[in-house]
Every structure is written in C-alpha cells, then in structure tokens.
C-alpha cells in the first residue's frame, strides 16, 4: 500500500461542483488501495477576499489577527471537502494545520516550518480515514499563536507532510497539465516537461515559473520528496519533479488508453529520447532595476550599499558595476530587486546618500527578466552564445546578464519580454510540433 499526499489549489476547489469533482478523484485513489492525505487551499479567491475585508476595517491589521483570519479560508474548504467525501460513502476527517502538527516559528505571514508531528494524521489513516489538512497554516512552537506560511504556502504544507509521513509521492493539483517548457500563454508552442530534477525546478521557480511554489521545491529537494505536478481538470500525467526514476507504481502505463487508478493513460514513456540541454524558459515581470550613479570607486562602497539593502530586507537579484564614463574615479552600480520593494529601497538609499557619496539614482520598472534553465549547460559549450544570437536576430537588446551553473538570465525591456521568451524557446529547439497546452481556467495556481 502506498501513501499519497494530494494538494488541491484554490482554482480546483473554487465551488461546490469543483469540490465534488475533487472528492471523486480522491476516492478513486482510496478505492485503488492507497492511503490518502489531502491538503487544500482556500476556495477560489477567498484569501484575497479576506485580505480585502481586513483592509476595509483597518489599514494595518495586526499581524496576529490577519493570520487568524486568513487560516479560516482553508478551514472552510477542508470541512466542505470532508463532507463531500463522506457523501460518497468514505470516511474523511479534516484537520487544521495546528491539529496536523505543522509547527512553525512565530513570524506571522511568512512563518517557517520547524517541525511536523503528524500523529493525528497517522492515526486517522490507520483507522481507515482519508485525512484532509488545511494548507498554508501552522502553530507557533513557543507562543501557540496561529501562523500562515505566506501566499501560496499550501504547496509547502503538502510537501512537508509528505516528508514527515514518508509518502511515496506528493501530487500537486493545479489548473494546468504540469510544468511547461515556457508559459503556454506566451509561447503557444510550449510543451509539458515529463520529468525535471529538483535543481532545475528550483531555478525555474526562482526565475518566475509560477506553477510550483519555490519553498515547496526547496523542501522537496531537502527531504527528497517526489512531486507530481498535474491538472485536477484532466487525468493526464503531469510533470514529475524528482532526481530518481518515477516510482514504478505511478509510472505511466505502457498501454495507451489503459484505465489506471490515476486515470486513462494517454501516452507511452519514451526512454530512448536524449535529455534536452535546456529544460525550460522562465520569465519574470515582477522586478525593477535601480542604478546608483557616481558612486566613489573605492573599497567598501558596494558593501555599504548592499548592507543597507540587507537591513531593509530587500532581496537583490542581479548586480552590475561599471566604471562611470563621465568620471573615472566613480562607478555606477545597477541591481534588480522586486518592484514591490522599489519605494523602500530608494528611500533607504536616499537617506544614506551623503554617507555613500553617490550622485543620483535612476529607477526603472519597465524591465523583464528571461531565464533559460538546463542541467545540460554544464557539459555543452555554446549555450550562452546561442541565446545572445537569437535575441540579437530578433533585435532585442540585453540590459543585464547573470548566470549560474545551470541558468542564464538576461534583463530586457518589459515590452519585448514575450517575444524574447518565444525566440529563446525556438532557439533551443523546444517548440512542439502541435500545440498541447490547455489552460483550464483560473490563474495558474
């Protein structure tokens, strides 16, 4: 008997009809003999609605109360789902994050999981129940206050539970058929990635791919939890995130059309295909670029600037430093940061202007970041040149560049980003012959 953790996002449990459909699917697994733990997000846009509600009564709601409020969203979906399952004649019990043993630190709104003690979940399973757990929430070890893990945190709940229960797979159900070689809304020729390593998926998520939550992938990698990211609107195979072969029991069957607990198989696995050098193209529109002009070119200035950014808790992404063309004793430092932190960053630096001794700042939020990711880069020279060539052929100017061992990222003008994604996708031969991506609605979460 295997243990499956299944996570359903907000768009998969948006209304009564969706919840009934999800309940059917969960029950299919139980019938096939699996133990099933389900993690749910709040229905549809409930979390956003609750945030709006809080803001209507207070411009700065106390963090403790905001977390208490937001966890209500997941409590609704967990109880309603348990009822829908009971209605199909199966035993189901719902648990809050705290009842499920999700122990966190005390930071409201972005709590970190420090321990998972799923004793009650284990006994619910042992007595033949399907366990339903509210995602995105936990309880502080010290204060016993209720906490939330941050937006999109239900993925992390699911992976953490899967790790603690030693599950065979953590299935993350969303409204797309898995992880694609690019966002199909931008590059219609994108195709589903069958399997991807943790390392590559981490780079994809960190570079703007939104299907899986970054923290969940980090957690999965640390505890080696295989993730199967797939659509709750179809029975197709999705994308496996794992460094190991897909567990035999869940491997796509050889016979297309065969009915399996996971549904009808639509394809055969082709093991002869050589691993692509590039796994995917990600993009990110959420960053801005800040240039500090005329910084004295002496030791310690960069340290000063980035210490201020660190103290302001701003995550810096790319950094470029150039000798100023106008004044040889000075340098210009540019870096990218989340656009949502733009005002905070410029204020903090403005305050330290005379101390640092720079001339002025330029802020640009009309930028886009394109990243190509693939472990094959390590052993194949020329991958970078190919990207630059393709962008140049399309007359797309590159503003900044950064690389890791398995990723190349470039900053372009925001309005050229979509084209840059398509061009890069084609250049690495990722374009599918037939359009295969179906977006089933919702927001991609």
Residues that bind ligand ASP (CB under 6 A): 9-10, 41-42, 47, 73, 135-136, 151-154
Q: Which does 235 bind (CB under 5 to 8 A by kind): ligand ASP, Mg ion, none?
A: none
Q: What is the 3-state secondary structure (H, E, C) of 189-245?
A: CCCECCEECHHHHHHHHHCCCCCCCHHHHHHHHHHCCCEEEEECCCCCCCEEECCCC
- Verify binding: residue 442, Mg ion, rule CB under 5 A: no
- 29 binding partner (options Mg ion, ligand ASP, none; Cβ < 5 to 8 Å by kind): none
Residues paired with 4 in a beta bridge: 36, 169
Question: Which DSSP letter does residue 161 get?
Answer: H
| Residue number closest to ligand ASP, CB atom | 154
The 20-59 contact track toward Mg ion, x by CB under 5 A, reads ---------------------x------------------
How far apart CA 199 and CA 178 sit, in angstroms, is: 17
Residues 115-174 that bind Mg ion (CB under 5 A): none
Q: Which is nearer to Mg ion, 10 or 238 (CB)?
A: 10
| H helix runs in 274-416, sequence order | 301-311, 342-351, 353-356, 383-393
Based on CB atoms, which residue is closest to Mg ion, 10 or 342?
Answer: 10
Could you give phi then psi for residue 173, rounded to 5 degrees?
-95, 130
Do residues 399 and 317 touch, judged by C-beta distance below 8 A? no
Q: Does the footprint of Mg ion cover residue 10 (CB under 5 A)?
A: yes
Least separation in angstroms between residue 388's CB and Mg ion is 38
| Least distance from ligand ASP to the Cβ atom of residue 238, Å | 17
Residue nearest to Mg ion (CB): 10
Backbone angles phi, psi at 335, to 5 degrees: -150, 160
Answer with the entry of ligand ASP, Mg ion, none that 135 interacts with (C-beta below 5 to 8 A by kind).
ligand ASP
Helix (H) or strand (E) holding 49: helix 46-57
Q: Supply the minimum distance, in Å, between the C-beta of residue 378 and ligand ASP.
A: 33
Residue 240 binding result from Mg ion, ligand ASP, none, given CB thresholds of 5 to 8 Å by partner type: none
Annotate 370-394 with DSSP letters as a single string: EEEE-GGGGG-TTHHHHHHHHHHHT
- Judged by beta carbon, residue 8 or residue 240, the one nearer Mg ion is 8
Query: Site residues (CB under 5 A) for Mg ion?
Result: 10, 41
């Amino acid at each position: 008997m295997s243990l499956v953790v299944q996570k359903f996002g907000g768009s998969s449990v948006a209304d009564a009809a969706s919840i009934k459909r999800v309940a059917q699917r969960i029950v299919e697994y139980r019938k096939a003999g699996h133990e099933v733990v389900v993690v749910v997000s709040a229905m549809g846009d409930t979390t956003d609605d609750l945030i709006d509600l809080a803001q209507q009564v207070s411009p700065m709601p106390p963090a403790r109360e905001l977390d208490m409020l937001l966890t209500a969203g997941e409590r609704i979906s967990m109880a309603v789902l348990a009822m829908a399952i009971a209605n199909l004649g199966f035993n189901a019990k719902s648990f809050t994050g705290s009842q499920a043993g999700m122990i966190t630190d005390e930071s409201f709104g972005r709590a970190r999981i420090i321990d998972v003690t799923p004793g009650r979940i284990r006994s619910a399973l042992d007595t033949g129940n399907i366990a339903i757990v509210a995602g995105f929430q936990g309880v502080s070890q010290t204060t016993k206050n209720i906490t939330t893990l941050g937006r999109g945190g239900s993925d992390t709940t699911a992976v953490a539970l899967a790790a603690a229960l030693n599950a065979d797979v953590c299935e993350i159900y969303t409204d797309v058929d898995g992880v694609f070689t690019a966002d199909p809304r931008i590059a219609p020729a994108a195709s589903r990635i069958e399997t991807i390593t943790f390392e590559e998926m981490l780079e994809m998520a960190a570079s703007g791919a939104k299907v899986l939550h970054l923290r969940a992938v980090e957690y999965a990698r640390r505890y080696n939890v295989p993730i199967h990211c797939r659509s709750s609107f179809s029975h197709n195979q999705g994308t496996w995130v794992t460094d190991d072969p897909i567990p035999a029991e869940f491997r796509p069957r050889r016979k297309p059309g065969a009915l399996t607990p996971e549904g009808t198989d639509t394809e055969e696995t082709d093991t002869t295909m050589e691993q692509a050098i590039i796994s995917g193209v990600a993009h990110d529109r959420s960053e801005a670029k800040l240039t500090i002009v005329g910084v004295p070119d002496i030791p310690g200035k960069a340290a000063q600037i980035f210490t201020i950014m660190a103290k302001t808790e701003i995550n810096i992404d790319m950094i470029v430093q150039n000798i100023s063309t106008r004044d040889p004793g000075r340098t210009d430092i540019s870096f990218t940061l989340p656009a949502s932190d733009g005002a905070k960053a410029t204020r903090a630096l403005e305050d330290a202007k005379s101390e640092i001794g720079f001339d002025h700042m330029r802020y640009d939020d009309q930028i886009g970041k394109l990243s190509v990711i693939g472990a094959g880069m390590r052993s194949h020279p020329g991958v970078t040149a190919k990207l630059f060539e393709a962008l140049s052929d399309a007359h797309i100017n590159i503003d900044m560049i950064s690389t890791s061992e398995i990723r190349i990222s470039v900053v372009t003008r925001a309005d050229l980003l979509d084209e840059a994604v398509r061009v890069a996708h084609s250049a690495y031969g990722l374009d599918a012959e037939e359009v295969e991506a179906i977006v089933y609605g919702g927001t991609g979460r």
